[in-house]
Amino acid sequence: AIDIGKLRDLTGYITLDSGYKNTGATQSSITFLDGEKGVLRYRGYSIEDLAEKATFLEVAYLLIYGELPTTEQYAHFENEIRTHTLVNEDMRKIFEGFPVNAHPMGVISSLVSAMSAFYPDSYDSKQPDATNLHIVRLLAKLPTIATWSFKKSQGHPVNYPNNALDYCSNFLHMMFALPVDKYEVDPAVSKALNKLLILHADHEQNCSTSTVRLVGSSQANLYTSISAGIGALWGPLHGGANQEVIEMLEDIKADGGDTQKYIDMAKDKNSGFRLFGFGHRVYKNFDPRAKIIKKAADDVLGKLGVNDPVLDIAKRLEKAALEDEYFIKRKLYPNVDFYSGIIYRALGIPTNMFTVMFAIGRLPGWIAQWQEMRENKEPIGRPRQIYTGPVQRDFVAINDRK
Ligand code: ACO
C-alpha cells in the first residue's frame, strides 16, 4: 500500500502559480523582453531595427537558425521555401469539406494538423530526421492554405502560388488576384505586411508558444505542435484580440463614437467587458510593437489614401484610457493588437483573417521555440496541482445513489 505521508515527504511542496504569472518554464536564447522598459529583441537585434530594415524571411531565418543569413544563405532559404509553396491536392479535398463560413483559424489549424498525415516521416522515429524539411514546408504552405479560406468565402477559385514573387507579395497575389484581371502587388502594401509579420514573429513564452512547446515536449511532431499553437492563438485574450479590437471600434462608431462610455464599461467589473487591445501580461509600459504599428497605421493609410474613421476612434480611445486613473494604476497600455487590425483592413484583409495574419507572422517563432526545446532535450512538460476535491469515499452502487 502507498504510504501517503512518505509520498508527501518525497514530493515536497508544490508551487501554485495559476496562469504561470511568475514561473519560468524554460531557458531560451531566442527572444529578450523587458516588460518594465518596453524592450523587445530577437536574438539580440532590436525589434525597431528589424521592422525597419529586414525582410520577414530574414527574421524567420534569424529566429530559427540563430543568425541573420548571408546573401547565399538567404538565397538558398528563400529558394527552398519557393519550392514548397504548393499544397497537396488531396489536402484541397479536406478543405472542400469545410462550410463556406468556417472561421479561417479553425481551417488552418485543422489543415496544419493534417499535414502530419501527409508527411508521416514527421512522427516516425525510424525514418531519418527531416525536421528542416518540415520547417520549410510549414513556412511555405501556411500562406497558401490561409488564402484558400478567403477565396472560398468570396466564392472565388483559389490561386496557386506565383513563385516569381517574394514571400509577402506572393501571399497578396494568392489573396487578391482574380483569373480575369492582371493583379499587380502594390509595393507599399507588401512593405506594410512585411513589417507586421516581423512584429509578430516571436514573443518568448506567450500562451500559444508555451502550448507549442508543451505539446512538443511529449515528442509530438512539429505539425501537430504548431496546430495546437494556432488553436491557443485563436482565443480573444491572445491573438484573437485583433479581430475583437476592430469589432469593438466598429461598435463604438455605430454607437455614436462615445469612447468614454466604453472606457467606463471596461472599468466596471460586472460588465464582463474588457478594452480589447489593452493590457499585457508582461508589458507594464508601452508595448514597443504597438508604438511601431501606430506609426505604421498613419503611414500606410496615408500612402494608400484610405480614410478610416475607426483610426480616429482608436486614437481617442487610447488617449482617454491613458489619462484614466483605472488604466494608469494597472499599467494598461495598448498592445500589439490595438492598431494592427486597422492596417490589415487598409490592406484589404477581412476581419476574420486578422488572427490568421498573426499566425503567419508567429510561425517562425513557434518553430524556433519548438526546435530549441527539442535540441535542449527538455523533459516532458507536466505541471502539478493542489487537489481540492473530496477525500477518499466508498463506492455506492447505482441503485443505492440518492
Ligand atoms: N480592460 C479593462 N481592464 C483590464 C484589461 C482591459 N483590457 N486588462 C486588464 N485589466 C484589469 C483586470 O481587470 C485586472 O484588474 P484588477 O487588478 O482590478 O482585478 C488588472 O487589469 C490585471 O489584469 P489581469 O487580467 O489580471 O492581467 P493578465 O496578465 O492576467 O491578463 C491580458 C493580460 C489577458 C492581456 C488582459 O490585459 C486582457 O484581457 N486584455 C484584453 C485582451 C487583449 O488585448 N489581449 C491581447 C494581448 S496581446 C497578445 O496576446 C498578442
Pairing of strands 45-46, 39-42: antiparallel
Global ipTM:
0.96
336 lines ligand 1 (CB under 6 A): yes
Amino acid 14: pLDDT: 86
Burial of 1 (0-12, 13-18, 19+ CB in 10 A): exposed
Amino acid 63: pLDDT: 98
Cα of 128 vs centre of ligand 1, distance in Å, is 45
Candidate of 204, 247, 264, 330 to mutate for ligand 1, largest count of ligand atoms within 8 Å of Cβ: 330
> Cα dihedral angle (253, 274, 280, 308), rounded to 10 degrees?
-10
Q: What is the pLDDT of residues 279-291, one digit of tens each?
A: 999 999 889 999 9
Q: What's the whole-model pTM score?
A: 0.93
Which grid cell sits at 109?
Answer: 489549424
Give the H or E element holding residue 31: strand 31-34
Residue 276 and residue 236 in contact, taking contact as beta carbons nearer than 8 Å: yes
CA 306/CA 293 separation, integer angstroms: 16
281 lines ligand 1 (CB under 6 A): yes
HSE-CB of 173 using CA atoms within 13 angstroms: 17
Compute the C-alpha angle 301/304/307, nearest 5°.
50
Compute the C-alpha angle 207/77/61, nearest 5°.
35
Which grid cell sits at 356?
Answer: 490568421
Please give the DSSP secondary-structure letter assigned to residue 76: H
Cα of 280 vs centre of ligand 1, distance in Å, is 6
Residue 110 and residue 148 in contact, taking contact as beta carbons nearer than 8 Å: no
Which residue has the least CA distance to atom 41 on ligand 1?
276
Residue 168 CB partners (closer than 8 Å, separation 6+): 56, 190, 191, 193, 194, 197
3-class secondary-structure state, position 116: helix
3-class secondary-structure state, position 334: strand
Candidate of 242, 278, 287, 354 to mutate for ligand 1, largest count of ligand atoms within 8 Å of Cβ: 278
Which grid cell sits at 102?
Answer: 468556417
Q: How far is CA 212 from CA 161, 208, 292, in A?
A: 27, 6, 27
Amino acid 286: pLDDT: 87
Q: How far is CA 150 from CA 108, 287, 349, in A?
A: 11, 30, 9
Amino acid 128: pLDDT: 84
Which grid cell sits at 99?
Answer: 462550410
Low-confidence ranges of the chain (pLDDT < 50): none
Residue 28 and residue 332 in contact, taking contact as beta carbons nearer than 8 Å: no
CA 251/CA 248 separation, integer angstroms: 5
Please give the DSSP secondary-structure letter assigned to residue 156: P
337 lines ligand 1 (CB under 6 A): yes
Amino acid 391: pLDDT: 87
Give the H or E element holding residue 33: strand 31-34
**In which order are the strands placed within the sheet that holds 45-46?**
31-34, 39-42, 45-46
Which residues are tagged catalytic?
A: 280, 337
Residue 349 and residue 175 in contact, taking contact as beta carbons nearer than 8 Å: yes
Q: Classify each residue of 232-250 as buried b or exposed e, where b means 16 or more C-beta atoms within 10 Å of its C-beta.
A: bbbebebbbbbbbbbebbe
CA 368/CA 222 separation, integer angstroms: 11
Amino acid 45: pLDDT: 98
- Short-list 232, 215, 237, CA closest to 362: 232
The DSSP bridge partners found for residue 31 are 42
Grid coordinates 475583437 are at which residue?
A: 244
Which residue has the least CA distance to atom 32 on ligand 1?
280
Which residue has the least CA distance to atom 28 on ligand 1?
281
- Short-list 181, 172, 110, 199, CA closest to 349: 172
Residue 138 and residue 222 in contact, taking contact as beta carbons nearer than 8 Å: yes
